[in-house]
Structures are given as structure tokens and as C-alpha cells.
Amino acid sequence: MKWTYKITTMAMFCLVSLTIMAQTKKELTLEDLVYGGRTYTKYHPARLSGLRWKGDTAVWTKDGNSYALDARHMKLTSEPLPQTAKLSSKVSKTKLKPVFVNADKSALGMVAHTKDNNLYIDDLQLTNETAGIVCGQTVSRNEFGISKGTFWSPSGRYLAYYIKDERGVSQYPIVDITKRVAEVENVRYPMAGMTSEKIQVAIYDTETKKTVYLQTGEPTDKYYTNIAWGPQEENLYLIELNRDQNHSKLCRYAVADGSMQQVLIEETSDKYVEPQQPIQFLPWNNKQFIYQTRADGFNHLYIYDITGKLVKQLTKGNWLVQEVLGIDEKKKSIIIKSTEISPLQSNIYSVSVRSGKRTLIGEGKGVHFGLLSKSKQYIIDTFTAHDTPRKITVIDLYHPQKEQVILDAPDPQADCVQPEITVGTIKAADGVTDLYYRLTKPVNYNPNKKYPTVVYVYGGPHAQLVRDVYQWDADGRDIYMAEKGYVCFTLDSRGSSNRGLKFENVTFRHLGIEECKDQIKGVEFLKSLPYVDANRIGVHGWSFGGHMTTALMLRYPQIFKVGVAGGPVMDWSKYEVMYGERYMDTPESNPKGYEATNLVNLAGQLKGRLLLIHDDHDITVVPQHTLSFIKACVEARTYPDLLVYPNHPHNVRGKDRVHLTYKIVQYFDDHLK
């Protein structure tokens, strides 16, 4: 009895001690957890400011000092930052360097930039276009890997650039309410099946001062993407994609006169072809290049010659190459990021062009971001994993044992209340495919209690929510809601990224249908957990996730009690041409698909509480989606709620995001708890 008493007393003491310790840990606030919050940086993994290469020397700043690491000798030096000079009020502002829009600097130091619709090189105006024609800016709404509109040749002599004719594209009104009398700003917004922009590509010669235009025929609504220069600057390469996005051509053009010389590679699909990366020539062989394609189901590297003949497939397997970081001429190897170890990871490898052998660089866990030095012998490897907030290492690729850790960030939330976060798999609705989930338990979890649960969803292409990064990629909102007693759950359904083409395009021509079925499998898993209250399940998502949130509320009203849908696509026929037609075809060719996925038609099925949030300056998912759905709900006598964020584009950024997150959590507090 004495021994039993001692054990009981000790157990009680330990329990009280743990309770006291838990009470002394800080509970994080939205200002701590949400990007844009006043104290956000304090509670998120440390970074190195301005980290970059100068030749083979890594440089950065931290805590008032500038640092340099000579990678050749792994020698670190530091010195105090120079005092920032204040501009005298007597100095004319005209002496300040101008800030260019879409600035693109050449090897010769010339800067291509845009002003209004026109393109300039330094002070020289190259174009003089009218309203509706735009030069030197991105096209195709940044799809197909397009992120800019100008492309300098390696030597800096030539500048290739896009010309976009939007005159036939419908204008969408955006209202600026900051004026005393609100003003309308019209933006060009090509909706699925409607007239799209027409694209040309031009080349300017800085020596002859002449411009040639690629002879692609009359400007059409085809897509021209993945622009790349040939090594001798005699040719320009690009991929031409038809409007249906099921037939691509890698084409070679002559720089001298813009003539099309040869179609090197063609790809077709019964669904879609989605080129994302330009070709890259091998530095030691100007007659061979790297071509990336998902032809075998996963994005891999292929070597072709300049006649279009396949030399070899360089990488292969049920994993994908995510990025080519660079090419090492001395070692004749390609540095890549891939999912070879796990779909949840991004790891860096060196791939021998001769043998195809892959050598892992850095630690074999987590998600890595690599930056190669000028010589390509050294790499800055920044990585994070669920148990590693952030670690940055400079590695000698020729002597991997030579490395220098320049940041090993501690857990910034170590002294704070933290929920338990786990990751696992369940089967998709097809009964075969594994899907990854993230589960966040409430702080001070009690296995004898039943908790309300919120599913955070995206589900669409080009996104992955469950990754092996700090806190398993849980959003600050999840951590905050766990503090307030919620279970938080996220599932990457079929249709999301980094799992291969078959996994992604199962949703073709009926976006949101299969993804919802997978999310319901996630809910079935949740209901199997004894601590989940099956009568208090909510759902939240933004953009594609807003569509999914609304669809789940309407198609499964018996399951979801509360939803918060941000920037939701309600009707795919009102979404943009490039994305919409890739995954849905046109409304004319796929009327049944558009009808089945149009959530406006389901407005009468709303049973639970649904908050719709939209930004009035959203030119990605235009406000018409939410307003049309609200109108349908009024007619159907269903009763969603609405919150509008003025002067924000798609999603809410900056300090206002704290306000957004508060409103989301408050809505669940009011109607799910």
C-alpha cells in the first residue's frame, strides 16, 4: 500500500508539474502566427537576409553584420554593415536611379523594362503601341511557366520579347472605391470558350537597331512559351501549343529573319500537354539539349540533338524532376530537384549525363532549395523538415565532405504551446491510390473528449499542402485553431501536384468531382477517430479550395455543418481561358462537364452555414462568381453569408491577413463550436 501511495503521489506531482509547465508556455496569437502579423518573424524560422552568390563567395547579412563565405576555402569573414547614407534634402531627386517595371538586365548592362504598354531598353523606346496591345510583359496569364515578357540572348546583343494583342478580349470592370466617386478600371479577362489574346514574338538587335518578328503566321490564339536561345545566338527556340492544349511543337526559328526552320519535337495527348520549362543546351555540346516532358507519366529529363533525334532518356521512375538548378560543364552533370525519395520531399541530386547515375546532395530528408555558384562547383542548400525549422549549408559538390553550416535555426516556437501534428496515408475513392494527410490535434488534447474538426482543402493542380517541412506545412491558422480546441485536417486529393500525370488528370473535364470524393474518404477516416465529433465538421479553402469548400457544403450537406469559401470559382465557364480550357475543355465541347461542376446550379442544396469571402479587386477569380452564387441562393431561399475585402486582389495579403484569419476562425467559433 505504501508503494502504491508513493507511485500515486509521484504521478499526481508529475501531472501537476506538467500542468504548471504547460501554463507557463506561451499561447501564440494571430499576430504571431499569420504572415503580416506584427510579431510573425519572431515565431517563424530564422532566415539569412540577401543570401546570394558573388562568384564562388556566398554573402548575406544578419544582426547588423555582413558575412562572406569563400566556398573554395570554406573561410567565413564578417564585418559591421556600413551606416546607411541619408539622402540630403538638397540633392535633386532627378539624380536618383529610376525604378523600372519588369526590369531585365542584359550581360552588357542594358536594362529592358516596360512603361504602360511599351517596351524600352534604358531610355530607348522600342515600341509605340495603341491601347489593347502590350509589349514586353507576361502573356497567357502566367501559365506554361511564363513569368516574364523579355528574354536577353547570352551575349546581351539580342532581346526577344512578347507582343500581346488583347483588343478582342472582353473587358471586366474592377471598381476602385478609394475615390470619392468610385471609378471603374477595366481589365482584359478572357473567359473559357471566348475570344483570347493573340501573341507574337519579336527580336530586337541592339547593334543594327532592327526588329524582326517570328514568322508564326498571322497572330493567333495559340500559345508560345518556353523561349530559349541557341548557344550561338543564331536561333531562338520555343514551344507552340494549340488552343486546345493537346498538341505541342518545339520549334526552331532563325534570328536573322524570323523564319521557322524546323519542328524538332511534337507531343499530343487525349487530355492535355503542359510544357513548363525551356530547353537547355549542354555547355560542352552545342548540338544537344535537355528537354523536359511528362510523356511517360512523370516529368523527366531527355537529351535530344538539334535535328530532333532522341539521344537518351536521362531520368526515369515513378517520381518527377521538379527543377533543373544548373548544369556543371566540368563534371558533365545536371543538378536537379526531385521527389525520388518521397512525394512529400524535394531533394537535390547531381545526375551524370554520361551514365545517368544520380548522387544525392545534402541530407536525404525534407524539402530543399538549391542555389549554385558561378562555377557550379558549390551550392547553397537551404532545407527544412518537420523536425528541422531551417538549415542552410554551403556544400562543395566535388568534395561533398567539405561543407559549412551557415544557419541552423532553432525552433522559434520551442517555448510555446504546440499541438501534435501527424502525417499518414489513406486510400482515395478509387480504392487504390494512396493520399497523404496532415492531422493537427488540439492543444491539451484529451482522448476522452470529442472535438470540432475543420478540413482545410485545396485539391487542384499545381498545389500540394502536405509536405515534409517545418510543422508538416501546417498553416498558422491551424496552429491557432488547435489552441482553441479544434482538430485540423488536410488531405491532398487526386488532382494535386507532385504525384504524376495520371494522379493529376483523373479530374479532366469535371473539376471538383473526383476531388470531393477523395475528401469524403478523408472525412470517413476522421469519423473513425474517437475524439472527432462527427456532428461538428467544417471545411475551409481559397480559390480552387473555395470551389471545393462550396462543393462539399452543397453536395454533402449531411456531413459539413460550416464552411468558409474564399475567392471561390463557382462556374468554370466564367474562369480564364488558359487554365479553364486545359482542365475542362471549352463550354461548347464539354457542356455536361460544365453543367455538372457549376455550383450556381446547386445553390438550393445549401443546408449549413457558409461564409463567402471575396476581394473586390480579384482579377484571378472575378467577383462575378460569388455574386452570381449569392443571387442564386436568394432565389432558392438559402442563406449564405458574405464578406468583401476592398482593394485586395486574389486572396488577402499583408497586415490585413490577420483580420481575414480572425474572421475565419470567428465564423467557426460562432457556428461550429
Dist CA 293 CA 300 (whole Å):
6
> Which pLDDT value is given to residue 82?
82
**CA-based diameter of the chain, in Å?**
100
- How many Cβ atoms from other residues are within 10 Å of residue 110's Cβ? 16
Dist CA 140 CA 9 (whole Å):
70
Which are the contacts of 203, defined by CB distance < 8 A and separation ≥ 6? 158, 159, 160, 161, 211, 212, 213, 214, 236, 255, 258
Reported as type and span, the H/E element at residue 518 is helix 513-527
Residue 138 in contact with residue 166, Cβ under 8 Å? Answer: no
Q: In what order do the strands lie in the sheet with 280-282?
A: 280-282, 285-293, 300-305, 310-313
CA-based nearest residue to 67, from 314, 406, 356, 448: 406
Q: Predicted confidence band at 84 (pLDDT cuts at 50, 70, 90)?
A: low
Which are the contacts of 271, defined by CB distance < 8 A and separation ≥ 6? 246, 505, 508
Q: Indicate if the alpha-carbon torsion angle 341, 345, 349, 354 is positive or negative.
A: positive
CA distances from 224 to 119, 256, 294, 326 (A): 19, 19, 19, 24
Active-site annotation holds for 543:
yes
> Which pLDDT value is given to residue 15?
42
CA distances from 357 to 351, 369, 416, 661 (A): 6, 21, 45, 47
Q: Predicted confidence band at 217 (pLDDT cuts at 50, 70, 90)?
A: confident
Which are the contacts of 89, defined by CB distance < 8 A and separation ≥ 6? none
> Which pLDDT value is given to residue 98?
61
pLDDT digits (tens, 9 = 90+) for 399-414: 988 999 999 999 999 9
Burial class (CB in 10 A: 0-12, 13-18, 19+), 340: buried
Dist CA 158 CA 167 (whole Å):
28
- First vs last C-alpha separation in the chain: 44
> Which pLDDT value is given to residue 456?
98
3-state helix, strand, coil in the chain (%, to 5): 20, 35, 45
Q: Predicted confidence band at 339 (pLDDT cuts at 50, 70, 90)?
A: very high
Of the residues 381, 618, 625, 648, only one is catalytic, namely: 618
Whether the pLDDT of residue 656 is over 90: the answer is yes
> Which pLDDT value is given to residue 4?
33
Q: Predicted confidence band at 24 (pLDDT cuts at 50, 70, 90)?
A: confident
CA-based nearest residue to 280, from 223, 227, 320, 357: 227
Reported as type and span, the H/E element at residue 185 is strand 183-188
List the single range of 83-87, 284-288, 340-344 with lowest mean pLDDT: 83-87
pLDDT digits (tens, 9 = 90+) for 25-58: 999 999 999 999 999 999 999 999 999 999 999 9
Q: Mean pLDDT throughout 635-661?
A: 96
Of the residues 140, 543, 571, 625, only one is catalytic, namely: 543
Whether the pLDDT of residue 3 is over 60: the answer is no
Burial class (CB in 10 A: 0-12, 13-18, 19+), 12: exposed
Give the phi and the psi of residue 381 in degrees, each rounded to 5: -105, 110
Active-site annotation holds for 650:
yes
C-alpha cell read off for 664: 475565419
pLDDT digits (tens, 9 = 90+) for 358-383: 999 999 999 999 999 999 999 999 99
Q: Predicted confidence band at 83 (pLDDT cuts at 50, 70, 90)?
A: low
CA distances from 332 to 214, 268, 286 (A): 33, 31, 13
Dist CA 612 CA 363 (whole Å):
43
Whether the pLDDT of residue 92 is over 50: the answer is no
Q: Predicted confidence band at 20 (pLDDT cuts at 50, 70, 90)?
A: very low
Of the residues 650, 656, 659, 669, only one is catalytic, namely: 650
Percentage of the chain beyond pLDDT 70 is 94
pLDDT digits (tens, 9 = 90+) for 222-245: 999 999 999 999 999 999 999 999
> Which pLDDT value is given to residue 325?
98
C-alpha cell read off for 520: 469524403
Active-site annotation holds for 155:
no
> Which pLDDT value is given to residue 476?
96
> Which pLDDT value is given to residue 23?
58
Q: Scanning the structure block, which residue is given the C-alpha cell 488547435?
A: 482
Residue type, 405: V
> Which pLDDT value is given to residue 60?
97
Dist CA 297 CA 499 (whole Å):
9
Give 360's strand partners.
349
Burial class (CB in 10 A: 0-12, 13-18, 19+), 366: buried
Dist CA 94 CA 378 (whole Å):
41
Q: In what order do the strands lie in the sheet with 260-268?
A: 223-229, 235-241, 247-254, 260-268
Whether the pLDDT of residue 282 is over 80: the answer is yes
Is the pTM higher than 0.95? The answer reads no
What is the bridge-based pairing of β-strands 434-440 and 421-427? antiparallel
Average per-residue pLDDT for the chain: 93
What is the bridge-based pairing of β-strands 532-542 and 451-456? parallel
> Which pLDDT value is given to residue 497?
97
Dist CA 391 CA 382 (whole Å):
6
Which of 59-68's residues contact partners 24+ apart within 8 Å by CB, and which partners? 60/406, 67/406
What structural domains does the chain harbor? Answer: 106-274 (2.140.10.30), 413-671 (3.40.50.1820)
CA-based nearest residue to 296, from 269, 324, 333: 269
Q: Mean pLDDT throughout 87-107?
A: 64
Q: Mean pLDDT throughout 74-97?
A: 62
SS3 143: coil
Residue type, 586: T
Residue type, 390: R
pLDDT digits (tens, 9 = 90+) for 556-600: 999 999 999 999 999 999 999 999 999 999 999 999 999 999 999
